[in-house]
C-alpha cells in the first residue's frame, strides 16, 4: 500500500491535524508542514496452532543444536567433534580386530561403559552450560515464560535435550558395538535374536547414565549465567565427589561403605553396569533396584531444585 493511498481525505488541513502538525490557517506566517500516516499494525494469525508440546519440542531441538555448535562458529564445534571421535574410535577398532580375530575378547560392554565415563563427563560439562547459562545471561527467560510453556516445560525440554545428546555418547556407540558384533557372526540374524537381552541391558544402562549425568550438569548450570564457571564447577564437582567417596570408603568399614560409594558417580555407574551384565566386583556392591532408585532420586532431586530456582524468573 502506497503512502498516497493512506493519505487521509479532507485536504492538507485534516492531514495536518491527523499528524499533529499545525496548518497554515492556524499558524499564520509559518510555512506549511506535511505529514503522512502509515498503517503498520499486526495482522491476525490464521494458521494452525500447534500447541504447548510443539513449543517444548521446538525448544528441545533448538537446545540440542546450540549445545553442539550447529549454526555457530567452528570454535564451538571442536570439542564435541573430538569427544565423538574419542568414543567412536574404540568401537571401530574393536570391531576391526574381531573381524580378523573372531575369538579375540576386546571391549565387551562393561569395559565400554567404564571407558566412556570420563569422556561422557567432559561432554556433559561442555553441553549442560550451553543449555541454561546463555538464557540466563541474555535475560530471555521472561520471554520464554510469557508464551505457552511453563518453567516446568522449560526445564523438561532442557533435560530431554541434554539426555538426547548424552545418549549419543552412552547408548548409540554401544548399540553400534552390539550390532557390529552380531553382523560378524556366521548367522547374524540368529545372533541378534539370541543377544536381544544384551541390547536391552545396553539400552537401560545408556538411558539411566544419560539422565543421571545430564541432571547433575544442568543442576550446576542453573546457578550461574557464565558458562566457564559452570564447566569448571561440574568438572571439579565430579573430582571432589570421587575423592570424598574414596576417602570415606577407606575411613569407614562394614555396611556403611556400600552407601558411601553412592557419592562417587563412577562407582555408581560401574555398579549399575556390573549388575546389568552380571559382572561382580564392579562399582557399588548393592542391589540393582537400589542403584536405579538412587540414580532416579538424583534426577528427581536435581529437577526439583532447578524448578525452585526458576520460580522468581517466571
Q: Tell me the pLDDT tens digit for each residue of 240-298.
A: 988 888 888 777 766 666 778 888 888 899 889 989 998 877 778 788 898 999 999 99
Residues 69-79 have a mean pLDDT of 83
Number of Cβ within a 10 Å radius of residue 30: 10
- Report pLDDT for 40: 65
Are the CB atoms for 234 and 216 separated by under 8 Å?
A: yes
Are the CB atoms for 63 and 134 separated by under 8 Å?
A: no
Counting every residue written for the chain, the total comes to: 314
DSSP secondary structure, 192-237, as one string:
HHHTHHHHHHHHHHHHHHHHHHHHHHHHHHTT-S-HHHHHHHHHHH
> Rounded to two decimals, what is the model's pTM?
0.78
Alpha helices for the chain (secondary structure H): 11-19, 52-67, 78-100, 109-137, 141-145, 151-170, 172-183, 188-194, 196-221, 227-251, 256-260, 265-276, 288-309
Dihedral sign from CA coordinates of 50, 54, 56, 58: negative
Are the CB atoms for 256 and 282 separated by under 8 Å?
A: no
Which pLDDT band, with edges at 50, 70 and 90, does 310 fall under? confident
Indicate whether 197 pLDDT > 80: yes
- Report pLDDT for 24: 47
Are the CB atoms for 182 and 192 separated by under 8 Å?
A: yes
Which distant-in-sequence residues (6+ apart) come within 8 Å of 40 by Cβ? none
Amino acid at each position: 500500500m502506497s503512502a498516497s493511498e493512506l493519505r487521509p481525505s479532507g485536504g492538507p488541513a485534516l492531514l495536518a491535524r491527523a499528524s499533529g502538525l499545525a496548518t497554515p490557517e492556524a499558524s499564520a506566517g509559518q510555512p506549511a508542514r506535511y505529514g503522512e500516516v502509515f498503517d503498520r499494525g499486526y495482522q491476525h494469525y490464521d494458521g494452525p496452532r500447534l500447541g504447548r508440546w510443539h513449543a517444548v519440542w521446538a525448544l528441545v531441538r533448538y537446545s540440542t543444536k546450540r549445545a553442539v555448535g550447529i549454526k555457530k562458529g567452528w570454535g564451538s564445534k571442536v570439542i564435541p567433534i573430538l569427544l565423538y571421535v574419542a568414543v567412536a574410535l574404540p568401537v571401530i577398532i574393536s570391531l576391526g580386530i574381531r573381524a580378523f580375530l573372531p575369538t579375540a575378547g576386546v571391549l565387551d560392554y562393561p569395559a565400554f561403559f567404564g571407558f566412556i565415563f570420563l569422556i561422557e563427563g567432559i561432554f556433559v560439562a561442555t553441553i549442560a552450560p550451553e543449555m541454561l547459562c546463555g538464557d540466563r545471561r541474555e535475560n530471555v527467560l521472561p520471554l520464554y515464560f510469557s508464551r505457552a510453556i511453563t518453567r516446568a516445560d522449560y526445564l523438561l525440554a532442557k533435560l530431554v535435550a541434554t539426555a538426547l545428546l548424552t545418549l549419543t555418547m552412552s547408548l548409540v556407540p554401544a548399540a553400534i558395538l552390539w550390532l557390529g558384533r552380531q553382523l560378524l557372526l556366521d548367522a547374524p540374524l540368529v545372533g541378534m535374536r539370541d543377544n536381544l537381552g544384551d541390547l536391552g541391558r545396553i539400552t537401560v544402562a545408556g538411558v539411566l547414565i544419560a539422565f543421571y549425568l545430564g541432571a547433575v550438569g544442568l543442576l550446576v548450570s542453573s546457578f550461574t549465567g557464565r558458562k566457564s564457571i559452570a564447566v569448571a564447577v561440574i568438572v571439579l564437582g565430579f573430582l571432589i565427589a570421587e575423592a570424598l567417596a574414596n576417602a570415606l570408603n577407606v575411613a569407614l568399614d562394614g555396611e556403611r561403605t556400600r552407601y558411601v560409594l553412592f557419592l562417587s558417580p563412577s562407582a555408581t555407574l560401574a555398579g549399575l553396569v556390573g549388575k546389568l551384565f552380571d559382572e561382580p566386583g564392579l562399582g557399588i556392591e548393592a542391589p540393582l533396584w537400589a542403584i536405579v532408585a538412587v540414580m532416579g532420586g538424583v534426577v528427581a532431586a536435581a529437577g526439583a531444585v532447578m524448578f525452585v530456582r526458576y520460580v522468581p524468573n517466571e
